[in-house]
Amino acid sequence: MTAARAAGDAALLVEAAGRAGPLAAAIRAQRLPGVLDAVAGARTVLVITEPGSWDLGALAARVAAVPDAAPDPAGQPLAEIPVLYDGPDLAEVAGLTGLPVGEVVARHAAREYTVGWLGFCPGFGYLTGLDPALEVPRLGTPRLRVPAGSVAVAGGLAAVYPSESPGGWRLLGRTAAVLWNAEREPPALLAPGMRVRFRPVSELPPDLPGTPGTPGTSGTPGTLRVPGTPGVFGTPRVPGTLRVPGTPGVFGTPRVSGTPRVPGMPGVPGMPRRVGFHDLEGFASPSTPNPSGSWEAAAGIEVVRPGPLATVQDLGRPGLGHLGVPRSGAADAASLQRANQLAGNPPGAAGLEFTLGRAVLRFGRDALAAIAGAAAPVTLTTGPNQAAIAVESGVAFGVPAGAVLRIGTPVGGLRTYLAVQGGIDVPAVLGSRSADLLSRLGPAPLRAGDLLPIGAAGPAGVAAPLGTAGPLDTTGPLGTAAPPSIAGHDAAGHPASLTGPQQGQAVTGPVELRVLPGPRDEWFAAAAIELLCTGHYVVTPACDRAGLRLHGRALARATSGTTSGTTSGSSAPPPAPPAAAGPASARSSSGGSGSAASSAATSGSSATTSAATSATSGSGASAATSAASSSGSAGELASEGMVTGALQVPPDGQPILLLADHPVTGGYPVIAVVRSADIGAAAQLRPGQLVRFTVSR
């Protein structure tokens, strides 16, 4: 029987050495009720379920019966990727291996690789089959920025970075091949089991053809020719979009039809604003002409001031982890669903997530709204000569056209949610309207001047499917409405009670989070779980939507590569936590590390606002998480799937709690996983707060 172990209360980690890819594909093909995804790692498959939908023991037995006959490798598609071998680490790799530079290139290009699995970021394929002579360690200090198309090696694997990101692999060259395009079907160029070859070229084209299927010279039969060389297929483009300079195949912001090109506005090459992920036409620009002459006709809400960080969020993109796409979605999903319930929306309607509040919005039409999550002072001003009226959290309230809503700094907690009846109707990307800051999917973080459309509501104040017509039931500037009851969901986005404690109150003592030990608790000293649950950990400033870095007594490993610092049996105090100044390192994953990302700190701190704002830069990095092993060399865990709520432990022994935007795979062992129902509370933790873990069996 296939060995399996629980990874929290809603996932199963299945041992599958040598067959992880085929087994994951076979499990997904079964379409088991309640099973959301099966994510292959180097030696395991992570089976992710809806919380409460499966007894994990029964699921393990069901998975053990799934046939997973490996396909014939010779029958798999072959992707031929052109590479210009001019990477910044080429000479260093030659020195580490004792080979001439030309021999490094020849050996790298001579092999046929196999895509083992996808992870780290969307479209990032881990390629097995690297020449053993080229096996080199990751960089000691990861880069903060690795350009899209970088061809790299590390730890016995090869890869191509699909998009700009931090990374610790050694760069041999670059390609113009587009590894990931959310507008393409399928969006990932590579897939598990696919064969890959690298072909040296003397130059790369300055740009790629703009029309899919551009004909050229024929390639080897059965070979998928990749953009960037003569006779290859062009890169699909969305009509009206333009390519961001320096990042082949990464789309910029489509301009709205008829919009003049104004410096600094969407649709302008070299625009100074941050890359807009998928700033689709649902966002209007302040310079966009409106036929009616009124911005209210173009959108329902104008962002006057977004605060440190404001994003559009729904319940995310479940089921795409095998493509390297995180679920993302609201960090505190239960609070978003509470707001949606009050506003008469379905649980998964898109709303707004405000980190540390400090936002100002102007409504261009009558609306029914609700606030939930971190309790913040909220006021509504209905006219230029009207006094501001306090708005209560946890009730629905009417907002008349022209009113201004102000959300202040939360008195406790970190993230406040606003739901509007009908939902925030921005275009969906891969089935979700959520902004994934790590993967740069969905709408960009909001900025002043953004105009947000509101979807149509159904009769009697209940939201209809977005895009359908129906009356809007409001009861005046501060009237309350009692929408019909809608079943709530837990923090993972699944059915659960919404009657739990509010996360917005100021917390004076440690916040208690329930955990389930494993799935890699055997990697740690015998007393590590006890140490985890008997001491307190402090949330460091290195935290964002990807996760929280915690600081307390170090958790020693039982395997090689044990942590330095306090051992699990020691009563000595831990070293001082890291300083708050400056961005922290690294994206948690086997793909790479290093970052300049958000660091949401305590309210009232200027450093907090600056750090939180940096999360909107679109760098795809995370302040909370760090690089990890990919292939499982001595003393390192082979890369495997990660769940939200996992407590990863890097070699220093200080745990990292993964949140909504965490990478799909990682290489630090997980000592325990926070229960699904407590993830919302974890997402509301602020730097400086104390956390206490308790074992929940």
pLDDT digits (tens, 9 = 90+) for 635-647: 578 889 999 999 9
- Residue that wins the pLDDT comparison between 572 and 80: 80
pLDDT grade for 457, boundaries at 50, 70 and 90: confident
| Cβ within 8 Å of residue 332, ≥6 positions away | 373, 415, 417, 491, 503, 679, 680, 681, 683, 684
Are 63 and 106 in a shared domain? no
Last residue of a domain, one of 205, 225, 245: 225
pLDDT digits (tens, 9 = 90+) for 303-325: 999 999 999 999 999 999 999 99
**Domain contains 429:** yes
Are 59 and 89 in a shared domain? no
Most confident segment among 53-57, 565-569, 598-602, 603-607: 53-57
Are 57 and 86 in a shared domain? no
**Domain contains 487:** no
Helices (H), 65-216: 90-97, 101-110
What share of the chain in percent tops pLDDT 70?
Answer: 67
Structurally, the chain folds into a number of domains equal to 4
> From the CB of residue 310, how many other CB atoms can be counted at a distance below 10 Å?
27
pLDDT grade for 299, boundaries at 50, 70 and 90: low
**Domain contains 524:** yes
Are 64 and 78 in a shared domain? no
The label of the residue with tokens 């909370």 reads 624
pLDDT grade for 439, boundaries at 50, 70 and 90: confident
| Cβ within 8 Å of residue 130, ≥6 positions away | 108, 111, 113, 153, 156, 157, 158
When pLDDT is averaged across residues 476-492 and rounded to a whole number, the result is 33
Q: What is the pLDDT of residue 635?
A: 59
**Domain contains 189:** yes
The label of the residue with tokens 């809007």 reads 472
Q: What is the pLDDT of residue 311?
A: 97
Rounded to whole angstroms, the Cα distance separating 363 from 478 reads 14
Are 524 and 671 in a shared domain? yes
When pLDDT is averaged across residues 55-76 and rounded to a whole number, the result is 85
- Please list the residues that pair with 543 across neighbouring strands: 548
Report how far Cα 256 is from the mean position of its chain's Cα atoms. Answer: 27
**Domain contains 287:** no
Question: Does residue 463 surpass a pLDDT of 90?
Answer: no
Are 65 and 145 in a shared domain? no
pLDDT digits (tens, 9 = 90+) for 3-44: 999 999 999 999 997 788 889 999 999 999 999 999 999 899
Per the prediction, the chain carries an average pLDDT of: 75
Rounded to whole angstroms, the Cα distance separating 52 from 332 reads 19
DSSP summary character for residue 47: E
pLDDT grade for 385, boundaries at 50, 70 and 90: confident
pLDDT digits (tens, 9 = 90+) for 652-697: 899 999 999 999 998 889 999 999 999 999 999 999 999 999 998 7
**Domain contains 454:** yes
Beta strands in 554-669 (DSSP E): 640-641, 646-648, 656-658, 665-666
Rounded to whole angstroms, the Cα distance separating 536 from 23 reads 40
Give the chain's length.
697
**Domain contains 395:** yes
pLDDT digits (tens, 9 = 90+) for 244-253: 223 222 222 2
Are 302 and 440 in a shared domain? yes
- Please list the residues that pair with 432 across neighbouring strands: 429
User: Which residues in 116-151 are b (16+ Cβ under 10 Å) and which e?
Assistant: bbbbbbbbbbbbbebbeebbbebbeebbbebbbbbb
pLDDT grade for 540, boundaries at 50, 70 and 90: very high
- Residue that wins the pLDDT comparison between 167 and 344: 344
Q: What CATH number does the domain containing 671 carry?
A: 2.40.100.10
pLDDT grade for 76, boundaries at 50, 70 and 90: confident
When pLDDT is averaged across residues 616-644 and rounded to a whole number, the result is 61
Last residue of a domain, one of 40, 69, 98: 69
Are 344 and 412 in a shared domain? yes
| Cβ within 8 Å of residue 610, ≥6 positions away | none
Tell me the pTM. 0.76
When pLDDT is averaged across residues 49-59 and rounded to a whole number, the result is 95
- Residue that wins the pLDDT comparison between 122 and 590: 122
- Residue that wins the pLDDT comparison between 628 and 623: 623
Are 60 and 85 in a shared domain? no
| Cβ within 8 Å of residue 98, ≥6 positions away | none
Q: What is the pLDDT of residue 672?
A: 97
When pLDDT is averaged across residues 553-572 and rounded to a whole number, the result is 55
What share of the chain in percent tops pLDDT 90?
Answer: 55
SS (H, E, C) 323-376: HCCCCCCCCCHHHHHHHHHHHCCCCCCCEEEEECCCEEEEECCCEEEEEEECCC
CA angle, 640 as apex, 634 and 646 as ends, to 5°?
110
pLDDT digits (tens, 9 = 90+) for 405-428: 999 999 999 999 999 999 999 999
Q: What CATH number does the domain containing 65 carry?
A: 3.30.1360.40
Q: What is the pLDDT of residue 193?
A: 87
Are 42 and 101 in a shared domain? no
Question: Does residue 566 surpass a pLDDT of 90?
Answer: no
The label of the residue with tokens 């009657």 reads 499
Question: Does residue 447 surpass a pLDDT of 90?
Answer: yes
In which domain, by residue range, is 593 found? 511-695
CA distances in angstroms from 658 to 37, 145, 272, 557, 670, listed in the order given: 18, 22, 32, 20, 10
* 225-229, 257-261, 374-378, 556-560: least confidently modelled range: 257-261
How many CA atoms lie within 13 Å of 623's alpha carbon, on the beta-carbon side?
A: 31
Are 97 and 51 in a shared domain? no
Q: What is the dihedral of CA 136, 38, 324, 674, to 10 degrees?
A: -90
Q: What is the pLDDT of residue 93?
A: 97
How far the first Cα of the chain sits from its last, in Å, is: 24
Q: What is the pLDDT of residue 140?
A: 78
Are 46 and 65 in a shared domain? yes
**Domain contains 243:** no
Query: What's the chain's Rg over C-alpha atoms?
Result: 25
CB distance 668 to 488 below 8 Å: no
Report how far Cα 437 is from the mean position of its chain's Cα atoms. Answer: 6
Last residue of a domain, one of 225, 248, 283: 225
Bridging pattern class, strands 78-83 and 223-225: parallel
Q: Which of 418, 255, 233 is nearest to 335 (CA)?
A: 418
When pLDDT is averaged across residues 608-629 and rounded to a whole number, the result is 43
When pLDDT is averaged across residues 66-78 and rounded to a whole number, the result is 78
Question: Does residue 482 surpass a pLDDT of 80?
Answer: no
Helices (H), 431-535: 528-534
